[in-house]
């Protein structure tokens, strides 16, 4: 979810309340009332929905278990802002030629599959000649879509982000001094309830 909250008992059942901290990689440092447990909204939904995956997805997407209308509106606004940053540039969606170019690299909707920051990070690391690897983790069946967009970037075919490595060169193994960073084989790993 877009923030952390505290789950506290209310009449025998837990209630999730947003701490109103902005999204962060670190847990918020807020004081919780006695008996409250700090948990992400996603974790709270998981606990509340049990093994019902459909209800879990719906609860997370629609903020079903957020009782405070103001908090829910703020959370929805945070999600909208994040999705806006994943939106493809409007000019690329304006012409049939651009749409065909997007489709050729696997971008068929109106958003990137890969968070744009990753392209900037890889370009910077490559320019610094740092040793690194990229590992993609997926929560569904979007492996091929991610692979298509990533490989287009590495092969200098990405309509937006290949410009970031234009001065470095393609990362497809065609330049002896540069590694082939493309995704070739997909190796899904599955996790069961025991980890």
pLDDT at 8 over 80: no
Stretch 53-71: mean pLDDT: 94
pLDDT at 189 over 80: no
Task: Give the pLDDT confidence score for residue 169 in this predicted structure.
Answer: 96
- Measured CA to CA, the distance from residue 189 to residue 186 in angstroms comes to 10
pLDDT tens by residue, 169-180: 999 999 999 999
Which residues are 40's β-sheet partners? 4
Q: Residues 180, 186, 191, CA angle at the centre, nearest 5°?
A: 135
Residue 28's pLDDT is 77
Q: Tens of pLDDT along 32-53?
A: 777 778 888 999 999 999 999 9
Report the C-alpha gap between 195 and 193 in whole angstroms. 6
pLDDT at residue 109 in the model: 83
- Whether residue 11 is predicted with pLDDT greater than 50 in this model: the reply is no
Note the pLDDT of residue 6. 54
Find the angle CA(67)-CA(53)-CA(19) to the nearest 5 degrees.
30
- Decide which of 77 and 2 is more confident: 77
Residue 151 pLDDT level (bands cut at 50, 70, 90): very high
Give the tens place of pLDDT for each residue, 75-127: 999 999 989 999 998 888 888 888 888 888 888 888 888 999 999 999 999 99
Would you say residue 27 has pLDDT above 90?
Answer: no
Lowest mean pLDDT among 58-67, 138-147, 165-174, 177-186: 138-147
Residue carrying the six token digits 């025998």: 12
- 108 Cβ neighbours under 8 A, 6+ residues apart: 102
């Amino acid at each position: 979810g877009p923030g952390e909250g505290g789950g506290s008992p209310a009449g025998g059942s837990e209630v999730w309340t947003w701490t109103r901290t902005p999204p962060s990689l670190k847990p918020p440092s807020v004081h919780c009332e006695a008996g409250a447990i700090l948990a992400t909204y996603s974790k709270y939904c998981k606990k509340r929905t049990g093994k019902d995956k459909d209800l879990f997805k719906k609860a997370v997407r629609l903020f079903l278990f957020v009782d405070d209308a103001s908090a829910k509106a703020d959370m929805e606004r945070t999600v909208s802002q994040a999705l806006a940053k994943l939106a493809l540039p409007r000019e690329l969606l304006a012409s049939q030629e651009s749409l065909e170019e997007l489709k050729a690299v696997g971008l068929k909707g109106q958003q990137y599959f890969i968070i744009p920051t990753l392209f900037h990070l890889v370009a910077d690391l490559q320019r610094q000649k740092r040793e690194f690897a990229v590992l993609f983790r997926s929560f569904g069946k979007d492996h091929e879509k991610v692979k298509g967009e990533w490989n287009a970037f590495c092969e200098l075919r990405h309509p937006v982000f290949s410009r970031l490595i234009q001065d470095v060169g393609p990362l497809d193994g065609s330049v002896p001094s540069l590694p082939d960073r493309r995704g070739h084989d997909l190796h899904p790993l599955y996790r069961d309830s025991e980890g």
